Structure 1
Amino acid sequence: MIRTALPAEADVVTALHARARATYYPDGVPQDGTDWIAAWRGAIERPDGHVLCVVDGGRITGVASFRTAEGAAADTVKLFQFHVDPDHWRAGIGTELHRACVEEWSADGKRTATLDVHVDNRRAQAFYARQGWVPDPENAPAEGDHHLFLRYAVPGK
């Protein structure tokens, strides 16, 4: 089942986020002082944002956070976070979650989606490519940046 995440689930979402990110940081997830529970709770509670989660057997196994980014065109949505619990990779959860995001974007009149992905996260890059994401021609990475910027054409209704 895919549904909107609840503020009370911020700690569970944060734990899933940490497990997923740990898979592509060879030296461990950088500690930058971010209070991720507060950040996820804020994302869930934002009136202009959306956090979808996949619930399987009573457990959250996937999560996606998106909204119109500040300064972006009204018909463009930014996918800020997209994670599947590593214990559930290759089970179709990511594909179903992505499909739910696209359905919501289309219903909201979005024409373009953007995201950035860590350069070392080859698994995610391959996943996004399979879903139809391409390098963003308007947003090439700066020298030393550790992210690739991708763009997706949201199918119309």
Structure 2
Amino acid sequence: MIRANRTVDSLVIRTALPAEAATVAALHARARATYYPDDGFDWQAAWTRAIERPDGQVLCAVRDARLVGIASFRTPEGAPAETVKLFQFHADPDHWRSGIGTALHTACVEQWRADGTRTAVLDVHVDNRRAQAFYARQGWVPDRQNPPAEGDHHLPLRFAVTGE
């Protein structure tokens, strides 16, 4: 769990609350629509489960009482305890290039370090060039240990949390 709210300028990064699941899902839908068509999946239910999971965490970035960024992560099943997977990471498209993603990513890394995480992994959609460029600027690299399967539309990336 995030140890305390982290404030950068007027941006506050904190743990998401169960009552915010609909707002989180709406932000997710706006961001996801920029690179992937609507798939009809019940994202509100998925976000409710993510927020309520005892083994995971959802951080949200709030500016001027408005949710502007979200990140969901946990140790995936079968992975070593010192590995975390970033399952979802979105900034509101109306606020892109304003530092929200960088501040949210920094908060994630701080949490991972506090939790003793050594490695973070994620899968980014092959058509989401904006996200790929963002992750590269943050230090993520292609995950050579887990290359994409043939026909997969995601690129696995890896981040050395401890600077390994």
Instruction: Give TM-score, length-normalised by structure 1.
Output: 0.95
1:73 aligns with 2:84: no
Deviation at 1:155, TM superposition (A): 2.5
How far apart are the structure 2 equivalents of 1:68 and 1:44?
14
How far apart are the structure 2 equivalents of 1:9 and 1:46?
14
Unaligned runs of 5+ in 2: 1-11
1:6 aligns with 2:12: no
How far apart are the structure 2 equivalents of 1:30 and 1:147?
16
Q: Tell me which amino acid in the other structure corresponds to 1:52.
A: L
- Name which of 29, 33, 41 aligns with 2:38: 29
Alpha-carbon RMSD across the aligned residues, in angstroms, is 0.8
Q: Which residue of 2 aligns with 1:86?
A: 93
Deviation at 1:143, TM superposition (A): 1.1
After TM superposition, what 4+ stretches of structure 1 lie above 4 angstroms from structure 2?
none
Q: Which residue of 2 aligns with 1:38?
A: 45
How far apart are the structure 2 equivalents of 1:36 and 1:133?
26
1:129 aligns with 2:128: no
Superposed CA offset, 1:96-121 (max 9, x none): 00000000000000000000000000
SS in 2 for 1:143: coil
Q: Tell me which amino acid in the other structure corresponds to 2:13.
A: I
Alignment of structure 1 residues 45-60 onto 2, 5 Å: 45-60=52-67
Deviation at 1:35, TM superposition (A): 1.6
Quote the sequence identity (%): 76
Instruction: Give TM-score, length-normalised by structure 2.
Output: 0.91
Q: Which residue of 2 aligns with 1:108?
A: 115
Q: Which residue of 2 aligns with 1:18?
A: 29
Unaligned runs of 5+ in 1: none
SS in 2 for 1:39: helix
How far apart are the structure 1 equivalents of 2:56 and 2:39?
25
How far apart are the structure 2 equivalents of 1:145 and 1:58?
38
